[in-house]
C-alpha cells in the first residue's frame, strides 16, 4: 500500500485521475465499494499533500476527470448507433471535463481546516454532497454517478440484503443524504482517528439495522391488478428505419398477443415503441387495438404532433383505437432531444428527426379505468430525486411507470446504472415502480426496492405480473431534501467547533 501511495504522490495529477477512475468502479454493475474507499483515501492524501491552492484544485479536478470519465463512458457508445462513433470519445471527454468542475467547490470547504484532521474530512464529505446536489439541479441537472447508489448489491453471511437495507435510508434522507452519509463514513474509516472510524462503522450498522426493520415491516403485498410488460430489444440501428417499421411492430404485437394465465388490465410497451405519429394514423391505432385486453389498455411510448410541435409521449390506447390519455415528456435530454442555446450552437440533436422535441406541461398523475392512478416517467425523468410525482395532483399516485430505451448504450454499464438509480425512486417515494425498456433492464420493483421480476439486457420477452401495493408516504416524499440540509449545516458547524477547539488547545 505504501508503494502505491508513493507512486500516486509522485505523480499527483495522473494519480488523482487514476484514483477517480478506480472510485467509479463502485457503481453498477461492478459495485466494488472497496474501490470507493481506495479512491477517496488516495485523493485525501493527495490534497493533504498539496502545498498551495493551485495544486489542491488541480488534484480535485483530475480526480473528477477520472471519476466521470469511467462513470459515464457509456455515453460515447450512443454515437455508434447513429454512425458517428468517432465522436464518442471526444463527447465523453468533454462531458467529463464539464462534470469535473462540480468537484472543485470541495476545495472551498476544506481549505480552512488542518490537513489530515477529522474536521477536514467532515468538511470534505459536506462539500462532496453539496456538489453532488448542485450537479443534479443546475443546467437541467445530471444526477448520475451518485455516491448513494453504490449500495445496490452487497451481501454478507447472515446479511443477504446489506446493501438494500442501507438503501432504505433514502426513504428518510433521499439519495443525496445517503451520499453524504456514505462519503462521511468513507472519509472517517480511511482516516487515522480510531474513535472516528469506530463511530463511522457503527453508523453503517445502524443504517443497515434501520433498513432491515423497514423491510421487515413492509412485506411485499400485491394488488389484484394484472399487467404485461414487453421488452422487444430492437437494435437502435433498426428502430427508426422506415423499412423495419412493420417488422418491429409485428414483434411487439406477437409478444403482446401471447396467451396470459389471468386476464390483463393493460399491456405496456417501452419508450418510442411506436415510431410513427400515432395520433395521426387511425389505421395504425386500429392494428394496435387488436391486442388491447378486453376493457383494458395498451400503454406505449410514441411521438405526437400538435401543430408545428413534436412531443415524445406516453399514450394510452383503448379497444376502440382511441387515445384516451397522453403524457408529454417534460424533462428533456439536452442534445439528445433538443439543443440548448440553439441560436448560438451550430449542432443538431442526435436523435432521429429534423425538429427538436417540445417540452410537455410537467408531471401528471394518470387515472385510467381498471388501474390504480400512476405517475408516468419517460426515460431520463426517473433520475431526479423528489421530482417524480406531480405536486398538482389531488390524489397521490399508487405507482410509478418508467418507460425507456437503453438500446443506445449497447452492452455497457449504462443500462445497469440507469436501473440502479431509478430503483432508488421507489424507496424514496414508498411507491412500486414498473420499468419497461426497449432493451435492458426492464423490472418490477416494490416500494422497498426489491426487484420482483426482471428482463435482462438483450432479452426478448414479456413479464406478466401483479402490481405491488404502495406504502404510506415516506418522510422524504413529504419533506424532500430538508433533512439533508440540516445534516450538512450541523456537520459543518461541528467541524468548525472542532477546529476552534484544536486552535485554542495549541
The Cα–Cα gap between 426 and 414 comes to: 19
Catalytic residue of the set 58, 119, 132, 271: 271
What pLDDT is stored for residue 13 in this prediction? Answer: 93
Angle, CA 494 vertex, CA 493 and CA 499 arms, to 5°: 95
Instruction: Tell which wins on pLDDT, 501 or 416.
Output: 416
pLDDT higher than 80, residue 350: no
Contact 107, 57 (CB under 8 A): yes
Residues 226 and 209 in one domain: no
**Region 282-305: what's the mean pLDDT?**
97
User: Which position has the higher pLDDT, 82 or 319?
Assistant: 319
Q: Is 356 helix (H, G, I), strand (E, B) or coil?
A: coil
Which residue is it, cell 453498477? Answer: 28
What is the CB neighbour count within 10 angstroms for residue 473? Answer: 14
Instruction: Examine the pLDDT at 224 and tell me if it is beyond 70.
Output: yes
Q: In angstroms, rounded to a whole number, what is the distance separating the alpha carbons of residues 209 and 172? A: 14
Q: How confident is the model at residue 211 (pLDDT cuts 50, 70, 90)?
A: very high
From the list 131, 207, 379, 448, the catalytic residue is 379
- The reply to whether 259 belongs to the active site is no
Band of the pLDDT at 239, cuts 50, 70, 90? very high
Which residue range(s) make up the domain with 170? 2-217+482-505
Query: 179 with 245, same domain?
Result: no
Q: CB atoms < 10 A from the CB of 294, how many?
A: 8
Which pLDDT score, from 0 to 100, does residue 334 have? 84
Average pLDDT over residues 266-275: 97
pLDDT at 160: 52
Whether residues 305 and 445 fall in one domain = yes
Rounded Cα distance between 70 and 50, Å, is 25
Rounded mean pLDDT, 184-198: 95
- The answer as to whether 296 is a domain residue is yes
pLDDT at 416: 95
Among candidate residues 226, 228, 227, 263, the one with its CA nearest the CA of residue 462? 228
Stretch 156-173: mean pLDDT: 80
Q: Produce one character per residue of 42-52: b if its CB has 16 or more CB atoms within 10 Å, e if not.
A: bbbbbbebbee
Q: What tens digit of pLDDT does each residue of 39-78 get?
A: 999 999 999 999 999 999 999 999 999 999 999 999 998 8
Judge whether residue 267 has pLDDT over 80: yes
191 and 318: one domain? no
List the CATH number of the domain containing 271: 3.60.110.10
Q: Is the pLDDT of residue 354 over 90?
A: no
Residues 363 and 384 in one domain: yes
Over pLDDT 70: what percentage of the chain? 94
Is residue 475, in this structure, part of any structural domain at all? Answer: no
Of the chain, the percentage scoring pLDDT greater than 90 comes to 83
pLDDT given for residue 383 in this prediction: 97
Average pLDDT over residues 386-400: 92
477 in a domain, yes or no? no
| Sign of torsion over alpha carbons 3, 7, 12, 15 | negative
Looking at the structure, tell me whether residues 172 and 255 fall in a common domain.
no
Q: Is the pLDDT of residue 335 over 50?
A: yes
Would you give the DSSP letter of residue 334? B
For the chain, what's the residue count? 506
Residues 71 and 189 in one domain: yes
Between 389 and 351, name the one with better pLDDT: 389
Asked if 266 contacts 298 with a C-beta cutoff of 8 angstroms, the reply is yes
Supply the DSSP string of 245-303, one letter for each residue. Answer: HHHHHHHHHHHHHS--SS--SEEE--TTSS-S-GGG-HHHHHHHGGGSPTT-EEEEEEE
Same domain, 264 and 321: yes
- Same structural domain, 124 and 249: no
Catalytic residue among 119, 131, 207, 329: 329
* Structure-derived torsion over alpha carbons of residues 255, 257, 258, 259, reported in degrees to the nearest 10: 150
Is pLDDT at 325 greater than 90 in this prediction?
yes
Query: In this predicted structure, what is the pLDDT of residue 156?
Result: 45
Mean pLDDT of 105-128: 96
Domain identity same for 158 and 188: yes
Number of domains within the chain: 2
376 vs 12: CA distance, rounded Å: 46
Q: Tens digits of per-residue pLDDT, 429-474? A: 999 999 999 998 999 999 999 999 999 999 999 999 999 999 999 9
pLDDT class of 162 with cuts at 50, 70, 90: confident
Give the pLDDT band (50/70/90) at residue 290: very high
pLDDT for 158 equals 45
Same domain, yes or no: 242 and 270: yes
CA dist 75 and 413 (Å) reads: 10
- Show Cβ contacts of residue 34 under 8 Å, excluding neighbours closer than 6 positions: none
**In the numeric block, which cell numbers belong to residue 136?**
443534479
Would you say residue 348 has pLDDT above 80? no
Longest dimension (CA), the chain: 83
DSSP three-state, residue 129: helix
Q: Is residue 476 part of a domain?
A: no
Q: Is residue 234 part of a domain?
A: yes
Distance from the Cα of residue 106 to its chain's centroid: 23
Q: Report the pLDDT value the prediction gives residue 362, as an integer from 0 to 100.
A: 94
Residue 18 lies in a domain: yes
Q: How far is CA 217 from CA 211, 252, 312, 379, in A?
A: 10, 39, 39, 31
* Cell numbers 421488452: residue: 231
- At residue 74, the pLDDT reads 95
Known catalytic membership, residue 271: yes
Bridge partners, 328 (sequence order): 313
Beta bridge partners of 299: 268, 316
* Structure confidence at residue 159 as a pLDDT band (50, 70, 90): very low
Look up 283 and say whether it is catalytic. no
- Is the per-residue pLDDT at 37 higher than 60? yes
Q: Which residues, at least 6 apart from 409, have a Cβ–Cβ distance to it below 8 Å?
A: 74, 75, 77, 78, 415
pLDDT in tens, 98-112: 999 999 999 999 999
Q: Residue 181: name the closest of 491, 429, 493 by CA.
A: 491
- DSSP string for residues in 467-499: EEPPPSPPHHHHHTTHHHHHHHHHHHHHHHHHH
Answer yes or no: is pLDDT of 23 > 70.
yes
304 touches 314 (CB < 8 A):
no
**pLDDT bracket for residue 279 (50, 70, 90):** very high
Strand ranges across the sheet with 309-317 = 323-328, 309-317, 297-306, 266-268, 222-231, 461-468
Shared domain for 237 and 176, answered yes or no, is: no
Q: Specify the higher pLDDT residue, 343 or 276.
A: 276
Other Cβ atoms less than 10 A from the Cβ of 409: the count is 25
Amino acid at each position: 500500500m505504501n508503494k502505491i501511495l508513493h507512486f500516486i504522490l509522485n505523480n499527483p495529477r495522473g494519480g488523482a485521475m487514476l484514483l477517480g477512475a478506480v472510485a467509479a468502479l463502485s457503481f453498477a454493475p461492478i459495485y466494488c465499494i472497496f474501490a470507493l474507499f481506495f479512491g477517496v483515501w488516495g485523493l485525501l492524501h493527495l490534497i493533504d499533500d498539496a502545498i498551495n491552492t493551485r495544486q489542491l484544485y488541480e488534484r480535485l479536478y483530475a480526480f473528477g476527470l477520472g471519476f466521470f470519465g469511467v462513470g459515464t463512458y457509456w455515453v460515447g457508445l450512443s454515437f455508434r448507433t447513429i454512425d458517428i462513433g468517432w465522436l464518442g470519445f471526444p463527447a465523453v471527454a468533454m462531458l467529463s471535463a464539464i462534470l469535473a468542475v462540480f468537484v472543485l467547490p470541495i476545495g472551498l470547504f476544506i481549505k480552512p481546516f488542518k490537513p489530515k484532521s477529522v474536521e477536514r474530512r467532515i468538511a470534505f464529505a459536506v462539500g462532496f454532497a453539496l456538489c453532488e446536489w448542485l450537479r443534479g439541479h443546475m443546467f437541467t441537472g445530471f444526477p448520475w454517478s451518485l455516491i448513494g447508489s453504490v449500495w445496490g448489491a452487497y451481501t454478507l453471511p447472515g446479511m443477504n440484503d446489506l446493501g438494500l437495507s442501507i438503501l432504505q435510508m433514502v426513504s428518510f434522507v433521499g439519495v443525496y443524504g445517503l451520499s453524504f452519509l456514505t462519503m462521511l463514513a468513507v472519509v472517517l474509516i480511511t482516516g487515522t482517528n480510531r474513535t472516528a472510524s469506530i463511530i463511522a462503522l457503527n453508523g453503517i450498522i445502524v443504517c443497515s439495522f434501520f433498513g432491515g426493520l423497514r423491510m421487515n415491516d413492509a412485506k411485499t403485498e400485491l394488488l389484484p391488478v394484472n399487467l404485461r410488460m414487453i421488452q422487444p430489444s430492437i437494435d437502435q440501428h433498426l428502430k427508426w428505419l422506415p423499412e423495419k417499421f412493420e417488422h418491429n411492430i409485428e414483434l411487439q404485437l406477437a409478444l403482446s398477443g401471447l396467451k396470459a394465465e389471468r386476464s390483463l388490465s393493460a399491456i405496456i410497451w417501452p419508450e418510442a415503441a411506436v415510431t410513427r405519429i400515432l395520433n395521426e394514423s387511425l389505421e395504425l391505432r386500429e392494428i394496435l387495438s387488436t391486442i388491447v385486453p378486453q376493457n383494458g389498455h395498451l400503454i406505449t411510448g410514441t411521438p405526437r404532433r400538435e401543430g408545428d410541435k413534436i412531443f415524445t409521449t406516453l399514450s394510452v390506447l383503448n379497444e376502440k383505437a382511441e387515445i384516451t390519455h397522453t403524457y408529454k415528456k417534460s424533462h428533456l435530454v439536452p442534445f439528445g432531444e433538443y439543443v440548448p442555446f440553439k441560436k448560438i450552437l451550430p449542432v443538431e440533436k442526435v436523435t432521429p428527426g429534423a425538429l427538436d422535441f417540445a417540452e410537455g406541461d410537467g408531471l401528471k398523475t394518470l387515472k385510467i379505468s381498471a388501474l390504480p392512478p400512476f405517475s408516468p416517467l419517460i426515460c431520463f425523468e426517473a433520475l431526479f430525486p423528489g421530482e417524480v410525482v406531480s405536486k398538482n395532483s389531488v390524489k397521490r399516485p399508487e405507482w410509478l411507470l418508467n418507460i425507456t430505451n437503453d438500446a443506445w448504450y449497447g452492452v455497457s454499464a449504462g443500462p445497469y446504472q440507469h436501473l440502479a438509480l431509478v430503483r432508488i425512486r421507489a424507496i424514496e417515494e414508498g411507491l412500486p415502480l414498473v420499468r419497461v425498456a426497449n432493451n435492458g433492464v426492464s423490472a418490477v420493483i416494490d416500494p422497498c426496492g426489491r426487484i420482483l421480476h426482471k428482463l435482462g439486457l438483450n432479452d426478448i420477452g414479456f413479464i406478466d405480473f401483479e402490481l405491488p401495493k404502495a406504502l404510506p408516504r415516506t418522510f422524504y416524499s413529504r419533506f424532500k431534501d430538508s433533512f439533508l440540509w440540516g445534516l450538512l449545516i450541523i456537520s459543518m458547524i461541528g467541524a468548525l467547533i472542532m477546529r476552534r477547539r484544536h486552535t485554542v488547545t495549541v
